[in-house]
Chains A and B, each alone.
Chain A
Amino acid sequence: MKIKLKIWRQRDSRSKGEFKEYHLDDVSKDMSFLEMLDTLNIKLIKQGDLPVEFDHDCREGICGQCGVMINGIAHGPLKNTTTCQLHMRSFNDGDTIHVEPFKAAAFPIVRDLKVNRSAFDNIISSGGYVSVDTGQAPEANSIPVTFEEAESAFDAAACIGCGACVASCKNSSAALFTSAKISHLARLPQGDKETSTRVVNMVNQMEEEGFGYCTNTEACQVECPENISVLNIARMNYEYNKAKVLAKK
């Protein structure tokens, strides 16, 4: 396959970026999108140019590290797929592919296609955990959890934190990411105890990081690699409103 690439090149967060054009003549349709970028980088290094920087880790679709806008869509044309699980067979010979980093005020560009997603870590550390004493593992059956509860909690916990929801959202809202963690823990007896403080802290942190508000366009679920349900956002709103209405101070 012959591919024409228009890739966003930007030195650092403060400089101005622009699309640069590259040509690859020997792309296999079995390559993953990241392998195609590797091929380009090898070519660039051999020419003495700076390689295109992009985030990646497991390349198995489970770590949430990779993620770029491909032809204007987060993680590219396939729905519910990470960038590393997208293969060149999804494109045609002679195609022009636009590659841009995720863009949001809360995701400053580090370089080229690499963005800083620390804002997500800050949201998690503001409440995305269960406060328990560590020590011996407790007896597994001392807190009963039904199969259905466990499964629905796990559906929310499947979020890999890639940031495609923010990138796909016209408001750059992190509601899907934040709500996935809130509703994951609210569905389990261990986590539910702290729901009201957790939801208020995490929502406040989300706003502090500079993410926008959710207006329920539901674009996030469509592009989410894990197909995290937008109903988690409804759960977050419910828990937030409940916490605010029942607030004791």
Chain B
Amino acid sequence: MAITGLFLSFFLIIHLLGNLQLLLPAEEAQLQYNSYSHFLGGNILVKLVAYVLYLCIILHSLDAIYLAYRRKKANGVSYSYDRRGRASTWYSRNMTALGIIIFVFLVIHFKDFWYHYKFGDLPTDVNGNKDLYTLVVVAFEQLWYVILYIIAILALGYHLLHGVFSAHRTIGLYHPMYNKVIRVLGVVFAVAITIGYIIIPLFLYINFQS
């Protein structure tokens, strides 16, 4: 859970940095983003990392299902009057629910962009690269799609808020000072990722309103 989670968190940084190219002026962004996507699709090293990524998503999900099963089994009969929530944060107790939101989002996300790019028939830009940029921009002209993304990214943000430090705890970081450092860095990371990913759909929606 911890190792796959940390790898997925690391991927989020790379994915965000790549996608920030969408914020460039339209013509420049189109050519650069399409050639960037073309490069990613063609590079053998990137392909290998992509397979690790798919594997991590699957293992992380399977692990979550197993944890939920163990929880149900270990809890036995539930409390009739339960106020235990005061001792922990709501998002730390609801990582499974947040994870399900993220998973459903990923299915939509993969279908709309990854599948279309890999297996769909996309027109090309002037450089001859598949025009993923236009596909993205058109998608984010719809308000409901932007709202869907924002909800999913907020879920991701809370998932990270607990997940990043929790992963380090599971791996065994017990040093009191570095534990505090990771706690703070985990929050900074979660906030930065959330803001970074929310800016993109919002920016595209506002800029391409006709």
List residues of A whose CB falls within 8 A of some B CB.
6, 8, 19, 69, 71-74, 79, 98, 100, 103-106, 167-168, 170-173, 183, 210-220, 222-223, 230-235, 237-242
Contacts and interface: CB of A to CB of B under 8 A. Distances in A.
What are the nearest 5 A-B pairs in CB distance?
A238-B172, A72-B83, A212-B74, A105-B76, A234-B174
Given A69-B79, A72-B82, 4 more contacts: A105-B73, A172-B74, A215-B95, A218-B88
Q: Most B CB atoms within 10 A — which of A73, A167, A168, A210? A: A73
Contact of B172 (A105, A168, A214, A235): A235
Q: Most B CB atoms within 10 A — which of A74, A170, A223, A239? A: A170
B163 to A, nearest CB: 9
B179 A231 contact: yes
A222 B179 contact: no
A231 B182 CA distance: 13
B170 interface: yes
Contacts of A183: 174
5 contacts: A72-B81, A103-B75, A234-B169, A238-B171, A242-B172
A177 to B, nearest CB: 14
Interface string B76-94: 1111111110111100110
Given A72-B79, A216-B169, A104 B74 contact: yes
A212 B172 contact: no
Contacts of B82: 72
Contacts of A222: 86-88
Contacts of A104: 74-76
Given A73-B84, A212-B74, A238 B67 contact: no
A73 B75 contact: no
Contacts of B95: 215
A76 to B, nearest CB: 10
Nearest to A99: B81
B86 A234 contact: no
A104 B93 CA distance: 17
B130 interface: no
Contacts of A241: 171-172
Interface string B39-76: 00000000000000000000000000001001101111
Contacts of B4: none
Given A104-B75, A213-B70, A234 B172 contact: yes
A234 B167 CA distance: 10
A215 B174 contact: no
Contact of A170 (B84, B165, B174, B176): B84
A237 B172 contact: yes
B172 A239 contact: yes
Contacts of A215: 67, 92, 95, 166
Interface in B159-186: 162, 165-166, 168-174, 176, 179
Contacts of B84: 72-74, 167-168, 170, 219, 223
Given A74-B84, A215-B92, A219-B84, A231 B174 contact: yes
Contact of A216 (B77, B78, B165): B165
Nearest to B95: A215
Contacts of A234: 168-169, 172-174, 179
A217 B79 CA distance: 18
A4 to B, nearest CB: 13
Given A8-B80, A69-B79, A211 B176 contact: no
A100 B77 contact: no
B20 to A, nearest CB: 31
A219 to B, nearest CB: 4
Q: Most B CB atoms within 10 A — which of A100, A103, A230? A: A103
